[in-house]
Amino acid sequence: MQCLSVLIALAGLLAGLAGLPLCAQSTPVDTIYIGKFLTLDKLHPAAEAMAVSGGRIVAMGSTSEVKTLARPKTRSIQFIGVAVPGFADAHIHIEGVGEQLEQLNLRGLRKADILNKIAEAAHRAAPGSWIRGGGWDQGFWQPAIFPTAKELDAVSRDHPVVLNRIDGHSTWVNSKILILAKITRDTADPDGGRIVRDARGEPTGMLVDKAQDLLRAVVPKPTRADRERRIRLALQQLSKWGLTSAHDAGVGLETVSIYKDLLRRDELPVRVYVMVAGEEARQHYLANGPEPDLGKGMLAVRSFKLFLDGALGSRGAELTAPYTDAPQERGLELMNDADLEQVVRAARQKGFQVNTHAIGDRAVDRALAAFEKGGVTLNDRFRIEHASMVSNEDLPRFIQMGVIASIQPVFVSEYSRWAESRVGPSRVHWVLRTHDLLTAGVPLAAGTDYPASDSGSAIDTLYCAVTRKGADGQPAEGWYNDQRVNLDQALQMMTTGAAFAAFQEKDLGTLTVGRYADFTVLSANPYDLPISNLRNLSVQMTVVAGRIKFALQAQNLVH
């Protein structure tokens, strides 16, 4: 093990050497993987084999060289496909993924199709039971307007129905829910929320942002067992998507406790970087300090998630000027400046990263202003989650403080449907300006925000980033193609960029000696494909710390 520590310390030097790493022959090698590796290390970009010891890479090189490290108990695994550094999702909602897998998936459906699904579910369900679903987007409908409770009433019988919009920032309910939650024309809009009303002031069945909190008293609460089941289900799906790391964007103490239980039982198949959210969790960690490295990098709790505004699709994103398609609206402020500045100061003092949800240009401006007042520097690595609308004036402010833009390339699908209507032609160029951020020198990390997006697939993230098309290939001509990035840049955002955003760049992001043996095996070399064919790639295998967590076909592995 002393030799292994030397290897880790010399990883940068060894990456440039053609031969085997120093001391490798005296390091006990658990497993040797043989296949084609793309390391994303500029000095040593490709390899034929990898030797793993204790979850870390101890050798990369030719098959013949690496095989000399084998001992009688060393496993040798040959795979078919092309391995890249393990994909990370820098912004995802893990329990939400599991919950979505158990509910009605309404993505991409016309309103009539959704209502048919609800009618079918109501026919099958036990009397009075709840019907839950999510993923709908009125951008697919004509006209593209919010739906109503009355439309659900016509098909839902006596069932309470709760359907979350794709962004998670608004909810469509039927009249049964409005009655249960006691939401009437006399119910005031909560701070940071909006009850959508008709011309007579009656609730229509749409609740935006913090108005959704009015449902908490009536929606059945999941048990801890329910939550663990959903998290397990989600983590399995993440492995199938080729993810070796995931940044869980906003969880409470019970979720952290579930992750710790899974870690203790060696049942975490994916590395989880936790952003804790809510006053209770934040105060607990301010009192007790960060947990940056639990279980050999499998779990980290060192960041706070804050919500400054809502989403563009629900017109909750906070804009400086009014919405073009709703001139009376500028979005919602979910956290005021004084509270934001207080959290920034407290977090910096205790060594926590702050990750702010900010979609509208006004919210992005407020986040940057709070960081400036709090003295944020490059070393803090504070993040703006989404950064969906960034004005020209705000670009240099990211760079001055080293603020990371945690973006979602798959949002191009949703934004192409309605962003120009929301913000107009003069501001639409501020939306999802990936290439502009990159060119300006802003550190980028890529995620999906799933289930608050069209797709959680890492392959779709790659495809959307380089084509400016949605996961479905639309629009066919791409959306504002000047914001495309090249394949190298997209892969960096999904690997080294995400690792840097989690303070894990010494352990993750490239396949070099000393780092963890986390990699994703794809069906083909992405560099050999036209970019239009990238979405045809499939994940063949996912490996975390040298252990296979997902394999598509057993015949692809030769022991």
Indicate whether 2 pLDDT > 70: no
Q: Check: CB of residue 433 under 8 Å from CB of residue 483.
A: yes
Indicate whether 7 pLDDT > 90: no
Determine the pLDDT at residue 32: 98
Determine the pLDDT at residue 46: 97
Q: How confident is the model at residue 167 (pLDDT cuts 50, 70, 90)?
A: confident
Determine the pLDDT at residue 83: 98
In angstroms, the CA 68 to CA 65 distance is 6
Q: Which architecture does CATH list for 87-506?
A: Alpha-Beta Barrel (3.20)
- Number of Cβ within 10 Å of residue 537's Cβ equals 22
Indicate whether 241 pLDDT > 50: yes
Q: Check: CB of residue 511 under 8 Å from CB of residue 41.
A: yes
Per the rule left: phi > 0, alpha: psi between -120 and 50, beta: everything else, 473 is left
Q: Check: CB of residue 551 under 8 Å from CB of residue 557.
A: yes
Residue corresponding to tokens 């080294």: 496
Q: Residue range 326-335: average pLDDT?
A: 96
Q: Check: CB of residue 57 under 8 Å from CB of residue 514.
A: yes
CA distance to 115, 131, 175, 183, 215, per residue, from 152 (Å)? 7, 11, 8, 16, 17
Q: What is the mean pLDDT of the chain?
A: 93
R_g of the chain, CA atoms, integer Å: 24
Backbone angles phi, psi at 411, to 5 degrees: -65, -15
Indicate whether 217 pLDDT > 80: yes
Give the tens place of pLDDT for each residue, 402-443.
Answer: 999 999 999 999 999 999 999 999 999 999 999 999 999 999
Question: In this prediction, what percent of the chain has a pLDDT beyond 90?
Answer: 91
Q: How confident is the model at residue 8 (pLDDT cuts 50, 70, 90)?
A: very low
DSSP symbol at 539: E
Nearest Cα to Cα of residue 137 among 102, 97, 106: 106
Domain 2-86+514-558 classified CATH 3.40.640.10? Answer: no
Indicate whether 463 pLDDT > 60: yes
In angstroms, the CA 493 to CA 487 distance is 10
DSSP symbol at 306: E
**Cross-strand partners of 502:** none
- Number of Cβ within 10 Å of residue 342's Cβ equals 13
Topology agreement, domain 2-86+514-558 and domain 87-506: no
Question: In this prediction, what percent of the chain has a pLDDT beyond 70?
Answer: 94
Q: Cis before residue 475, ω within 30 degrees of 0?
A: yes
Determine the pLDDT at residue 557: 56
Q: How confident is the model at residue 168 (pLDDT cuts 50, 70, 90)?
A: confident
Indicate whether 464 pLDDT > 70: yes
Q: Check: CB of residue 533 under 8 Å from CB of residue 559.
A: no
Q: Check: CB of residue 248 under 8 Å from CB of residue 236.
A: no
Q: How confident is the model at residue 273 (pLDDT cuts 50, 70, 90)?
A: very high
Determine the pLDDT at residue 484: 98
Q: How confident is the model at residue 294 (pLDDT cuts 50, 70, 90)?
A: very high
Cβ neighbours of residue 216 closer than 8 Å, sequence gap 6 or more: none
Determine the pLDDT at residue 3: 37
SS3 541: strand
Indicate whether 163 pLDDT > 70: yes
What residue segments make up the domains of the chain, in order of their start? 2-86+514-558, 87-506
SS3 60: strand
Please spell the DSSP secondary structure of 78-136, one letter per residue.
EEEEEEEEPEEEEEE-HHHHHHHHHSEE-TT--HHHHHHHHHHHHHHSPTT--EEEEEE
Please spell the DSSP secondary structure of 393-429, one letter per residue.
GGHHHHHHHT-EEEE-TTHHHHHHHHHHHHH-TTTGG
- The mean-pLDDT minimum among 22-26, 133-137, 364-368 falls in 22-26
Determine the pLDDT at residue 510: 98
Q: Residue range 295-303: average pLDDT?
A: 97
In angstroms, the CA 101 to CA 108 distance is 16
Q: Residue range 184-210: average pLDDT?
A: 95
Give the tens place of pLDDT for each residue, 335-387.
Answer: 999 999 999 999 999 999 999 999 999 999 999 999 999 999 999 999 999 99
In angstroms, the CA 207 to CA 391 distance is 29
Residue 425 carries which side chain, given as an amino acid letter? P
Indicate whether 13 pLDDT > 60: no
Determine the pLDDT at residue 26: 60
Residue 299 carries which side chain, given as an amino acid letter? L
**Cross-strand partners of 385:** 357, 406
Strands 557-558, 75-85: pairing kind: antiparallel
**Is residue 528 classed exposed, middle or buried when 0-12, 13-18 and 19+ CB atoms within 10 A define those classes?**
exposed
Determine the pLDDT at residue 554: 61
Our CA dihedral for 126, 130, 133, 138, rounded to 10 degrees, sits at: 110
What tokens were used for 68? 């000399």
Indicate whether 15 pLDDT > 60: no
Determine the pLDDT at residue 161: 95
In angstroms, the CA 498 to CA 406 distance is 8
Residue corresponding to tokens 């993505």: 107
What tokens were used for 522? 């794809």
Indicate whether 68 pLDDT > 60: yes
Give the tens place of pLDDT for each residue, 490-540.
Answer: 999 999 999 999 999 999 999 999 999 999 999 999 999 999 999 999 999
Residue corresponding to tokens 């249960």: 180
What is the biggest distance separating any 2 CA atoms in the chain, rounded to whole angstroms? 80
What tokens were used for 492? 């960096």
Cβ neighbours of residue 7 closer than 8 Å, sequence gap 6 or more: 14, 21, 22, 23, 24, 27, 56, 58, 513, 514
Indicate whether 94 pLDDT > 80: yes
In angstroms, the CA 493 to CA 496 distance is 6
Determine the pLDDT at residue 5: 31
